Amino acid sequence: MITIIVFSLVGLGILFAVIRLLKGPTAADRVVSLDTFNVIVIGTIALLAHVFDNNLYLDIAIVYGILAFLETIVFARYLEGHYGNR
Amino acid sequence: MKYVATFLVLFVIYILLAGWVIDELILGAVIALILTLIIAKYVDYKIDYLLPYRLLVFIVVYIPVFLWQLVLSNLNVARRVLSIDIPVNPGFVKIKTELKGDFAKLILANSITLTPGTLSVDVKGDTLYIHTIDVKGSSIEENTEHISAVFERILGVVFK
Amino acid sequence: MEIVSTVFMIIGGLFYLLGGLGILRMPDTFDRIQAGTKATTLGAFSLLIGITFAHPDWWLKILLIIIFIVLANPIGSSVLAKAAYLSFEKPSNLVTDELEDVFGGDTND
């Protein structure tokens, strides 16, 4: 019962982030919403570890977090383009 | 001294990831030793006898202040999200910091990002560039006083 | 213990919801970055604390995830803010813009 409530709150958060991802006017808005989406997904994976009572999901959350951080940095450097040297 | 500190940091990270098992302890020690020999010439931090005191200040003073500011900034965000027409005057401002060292500036910039209404954009030398929702001061000194004075004082004790 | 864990998890879910809502409703890019970063950092923090109360023997890994999120999330948003400042149109209602003399005035094509 409790997990259903928490999952629906988190799912609404993901839904709003995805709406912004789909309609964001500039590419920067899309990457911002992708960053938010990734942090929410890390929490969701940790919540799955709690529901299934299995420690291994936390490792998945760590690796997902590292990859999401790299993804944000790479997209941001790409958006900077040739202005990044200043 | 530098080698020992690097080895300990790497070993602790390995143990946190792998768990407290005897096999993993041996393997982690070997891997941390090899990595220490490779990367020790790139690290630059000083270890001295004041370290436990600084760690204590960091945990007892900095972390509660930081958490309190984080909660305040979230309540601020909630107020602005739920009622859309609050008057704002956003802007980009400069502030000065007296902290030396990359890690100290990183902690300061992260703290500024997570305090109400501010977002650090870039660091160049001893100047931080901040996006703020509500510009209060008109000079660098006033903005520094409004934005970062609390964390500057605490982190000045931690990272001397 | 059960009740404390439940309360922390529901608070975490609420802040995640607030993060998504902030991303959706804020008027310009920098406001969205601020709302998203702050709300999701506290949301992840609170949710993971709640899971720690439910499973006390997982605290080491959860501590590692919390440290990683608190360090990495603001860095990511700072880099994104710099990229958004350099490559896209600035918001029209700025009061002061002291970055202009550093990055040069005419930054958008």
Give contacts of C 87-106 with A, CB under 8 A: 87-89, 102-104
In a domain, C95, yes or no: no
- Choose between C35 and C109: higher pLDDT: C35
pLDDT confidence bin for B87, thresholds 50/70/90: low
In the predicted structure, residue A19 carries a pLDDT above the cut 90: yes
CB contact under 8 A, A2 and C9: yes
Taking the Cβ of residue C23 and every Cβ of chain A, the question of whether any pair is shorter than 8 Å is answered with yes
- B7: which 2 tokens? 């080895």
Across B111-121, average pLDDT: 88
Q: What is the C-alpha radius of gyration for chain C, rounded to an integer number of angstroms?
A: 18
Chain A residues close to C45, C-beta within 8 Å: none
CB contact under 8 A, A33 and C23: yes
- Distance in angstroms (rounded) separating the CA atoms of residues B117 and B121: 13
Kindly provide the ipTM of the predicted complex, given to two decimals. Answer: 0.87
Closest residue to A46, CB basis, from C24, C51, C104: C51
In the predicted structure, residue B21 carries a pLDDT above the cut 70: yes
Across B16-22, average pLDDT: 79
Residue A85 carries which DSSP code? G
In a domain, C70, yes or no: yes
Across C96-107, average pLDDT: 63
**3-class DSSP state of C97:** strand
Count of other CB atoms within 10 angstroms of residue A53: 9
State phi, psi for C41 to the nearest 5 degrees: -65, -50
The reported pLDDT for the residue numbered C109 is 41
Cα distances (Å, whole numbers) of residue B156 to B45, B103, B153, C16: 16, 12, 5, 33
The reported pLDDT for the residue numbered B140 is 74
- Choose between B160 and A29: higher pLDDT: A29
Average pLDDT of chain C is 85
Number of separate domains in chain C: 1
In a domain, C50, yes or no: yes
The reported pLDDT for the residue numbered B103 is 81
In the predicted structure, residue B6 carries a pLDDT above the cut 50: yes
Taking the Cβ of residue B78 and every Cβ of chain C, the question of whether any pair is shorter than 8 Å is answered with yes
Q: Which chains touch A (3 or more CB pairs under 8 A)?
A: C
- Choose between A4 and B146: higher pLDDT: A4
Q: Under a CB-based contact definition with an 8 Å cutoff, are residues A82 and C85 in contact?
A: no
The reported pLDDT for the residue numbered C88 is 76
pLDDT digits (tens, 9 = 90+) for A52-74: 988 889 989 999 999 999 999 99
In a domain, C47, yes or no: yes
The reported pLDDT for the residue numbered A82 is 66
In a domain, C12, yes or no: yes
In the predicted structure, residue B145 carries a pLDDT above the cut 80: no
- Distance in angstroms (rounded) separating the CA atoms of residues C44 and A38: 11
Chain B residues close to C74, C-beta within 8 Å: 109-110, 113-114, 120
Which range, of B11-20, B33-42, C15-24, averages the lowest pLDDT?
Answer: B11-20
The reported pLDDT for the residue numbered B58 is 84
What domain range is C73 assigned to?
Answer: 2-88
The phi-psi region of residue C90 (left if phi > 0; otherwise alpha if psi is between -120 and 50; otherwise beta) is beta
pLDDT digits (tens, 9 = 90+) for B89-114: 888 888 888 888 788 888 889 998 88
- Choose between C61 and B86: higher pLDDT: C61
- C66: which 2 tokens? 């919390």
The reported pLDDT for the residue numbered C74 is 92
In a domain, C60, yes or no: yes
pLDDT digits (tens, 9 = 90+) for B33-66: 999 888 877 776 666 777 788 888 888 888 999 9
- Distance in angstroms (rounded) separating the CA atoms of residues B105 and B97: 8
Residue from A3, A23, A25, A4 nearest A15 by CA:
A23
* Angle, alpha carbons C44-C46-C50 (nearest 5°): 115
DSSP chain B: -HHHHHHHHHHHHHHHHH-S-HHHHHHHHHHHHHHHHHHGGG------TTHHHHHHHIIIIIHHHHHHHHHHHHHHHHHHHHS-----B-EEEEEE----SHHHHHHHHHHHHTSTTEEEEEEETTEEEEEESB---SSHHHHHHHHTHHHHHHHHHH--
In a domain, C100, yes or no: no
The reported pLDDT for the residue numbered A85 is 56
The reported pLDDT for the residue numbered C107 is 47
CB contact under 8 A, C65 and A46: yes
Per-residue H/E/C for C32-82: HHHHHHHHHHHHHHHHHHHHHHHCHHHHHHHHHHHHHHHHHHHHHHHHHHH
Which range, of A29-38, A61-70, B119-128, averages the lowest pLDDT?
Answer: B119-128
In a domain, C104, yes or no: no
The reported pLDDT for the residue numbered B49 is 74
